[in-house]
A = this chain, B = another copy of it.
Amino acid sequence: MTALRSGQLADAAGVNPQTLRYYERIGLLTPAERTLGGHRLYAPEAVTALRVIKAAQRLGFSLDEIADLLDLGAHRHGRREPGLPERAAAKLAEVEAKIDDLGVIRDTLRRALDAGCDDLLACAQRPGCPLPFTDLADEGNTRGDVCC
């Protein structure tokens, strides 16, 4: 209903006031208007917008991607650009890949713990070490070669 001052919006959304200016700078959240003196005035919906931004960020979208997503809905379905469902599906695939990758890392750490390795450099030179030095270099690898 009543417009919000930047400090009120920041409080309501739980962010730093400077963050609002930052979001404005990168084109993510523009105040509805200004007072005569130049103070920003935000519509109450800005609180929702900020929550959406924070939720999307948490889902793994970058601020750039979020700006895109918000624009998609706001103006122009000019098409030939992927919509929200397509982007969410792509992000889902990314997240799943990341989970798999972390699974490999978790298993590797477990093996290192089981092996009772206590000196990285010494261990690295002995056969039987569970740390796959060459493999780990490029991610997305699921084999578990023997090493230290």
Contact = CB atoms under 8 A, between A and B. Distances in A.
Given A58-B136, A99-B106, A102-B102, 7 more contacts: A48-B125, A48-B133, A55-B132, A58-B105, A70-B120, A73-B118, A96-B106
A132 B51 CA distance: 9
Interface string A1-45: 000000000000010000000000000000000000000000001
A144 interface: no
Contacts of A119: 72-73, 84
Number of copies: 2
Interface in A53-81: 54-56, 58-60, 69-70, 72-74
Contacts of A48: 121, 124-125, 133
20 contacts: A48-B121, A48-B124, A48-B133, A52-B121, A52-B131, A54-B137, A55-B131, A55-B136, A58-B105, A69-B120, A72-B119, A73-B120, A84-B119, A85-B113, A85-B118, A88-B117, A95-B106, A95-B109, A99-B103, A99-B106
Interface of A: 14, 45, 48-49, 51-52, 54-56, 58-60, 69-70, 72-74, 83-85, 88-89, 91-92, 95-96, 98-99, 102-103, 105-106, 108-110, 112-113, 116-122, 124-125, 131-134, 136-137, 139
